[in-house]
């Protein structure tokens, strides 16, 4: 138990912040690339569809933003950004790490799934440009789970601030 009370928990908290940025960022980068590849052919055939396709391409990028927001808020609350770092117990650092996992894991997988849904929307726009909003809505349904993961990670991090461990 002495290990859990040692003041080196900041390492685990930073690991949580890193995972919250890295995994959704990787998923978003892959997702934006996938939709961009699907959009390039359609744009080559009909350049007037570019703006509609760009919107579909940007949708999987939000998970990376959510991960970065989670990390920024955590690192700010720990004084790593814009202050002096605080000492926290290993137990508290592990709690922060665990709290970052929802956005890290769900952010990664939802970005990939959202990209596949957006790529299907690209096919919809290619044949029926007037139906682009439907493609966006299909993609936005996947986004819901990234938002829920963001919410639980942020609420978890806020709640951990108040724990006395």
pTM score, two decimals? 0.91
Q: Do 63 and 146 form a contact (C-beta atoms < 8 A)?
A: yes
Q: Per-residue pLDDT tens for 68-101?
A: 999 999 999 999 998 888 899 999 999 999 999 9
Residue with tokens 């959510």: 66
- In the chain, pLDDT over 70 holds for what percent of residues? 97
* Cα–Cα distance for residue pair 162/41, rounded to 1 Å: 52
As assigned by CATH, the class of the 8-161 domain is mainly alpha
Range name among 22-26, 78-82, 117-121 with the lowest pLDDT average: 78-82
| pLDDT band, residue 127 (cuts 50/70/90) | very high
Domain boundaries of the chain, sorted by first residue: 8-161
pLDDT given at position 145? 97
pLDDT given at position 161? 84
Tell me the average pLDDT across 137-165: 94
| pLDDT band, residue 6 (cuts 50/70/90) | confident
| pLDDT band, residue 8 (cuts 50/70/90) | confident
Average pLDDT score over the chain? 94
Burial 141-153 (b: 16+ CB within 10 A, else e): ebbebbbebbeeb
Q: Name, in order, each residue with C-beta under 8 angstroms of 65's C-beta and a sequence gap of 6 or more.
A: 28
**Where would I find the H helices in the chain?**
2-5, 10-45, 50-58, 62-77, 90-127, 132-161
For residue 98, count CB atoms less than 10 angstroms from its CB and return exposed for 0-12, middle for 13-18, buried for 19 or more: middle
Rg (CA), the chain: 19
**Residues 143, 148, 153, 158, Cα dihedral to 10°:** 130
Query: Is residue 3 pLDDT above 70, yes or no?
Result: no
């Amino acid at each position: 138990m002495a290990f859990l009370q040692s003041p080196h928990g900041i390492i685990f908290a930073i690991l949580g912040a890193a995972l919250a940025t890295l995994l959704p960022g990787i998923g978003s980068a892959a997702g934006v690339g996938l939709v961009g590849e699907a959009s390039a052919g359609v744009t080559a055939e009909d350049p007037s569809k570019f703006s509609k396709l760009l919107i579909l391409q940007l949708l999987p990028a939000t998970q990376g933003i959510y991960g970065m927001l989670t990390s920024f808020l955590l690192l700010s609350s720990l004084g790593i950004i814009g202050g002096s770092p605080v000492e926290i117990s290993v137990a508290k650092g592990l709690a922060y790490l665990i709290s970052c996992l929802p956005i890290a894991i769900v952010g990664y997988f939802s970005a990939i799934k959202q990209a596949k849904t957006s790529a299907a929307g690209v096919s919809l726009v290619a044949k029926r440009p007037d139906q682009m909003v439907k493609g966006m809505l299909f993609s936005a349904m996947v986004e819901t789970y990234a938002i829920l993961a963001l919410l639980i990670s942020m609420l978890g991090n806020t709640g951990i601030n108040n724990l006395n461990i």
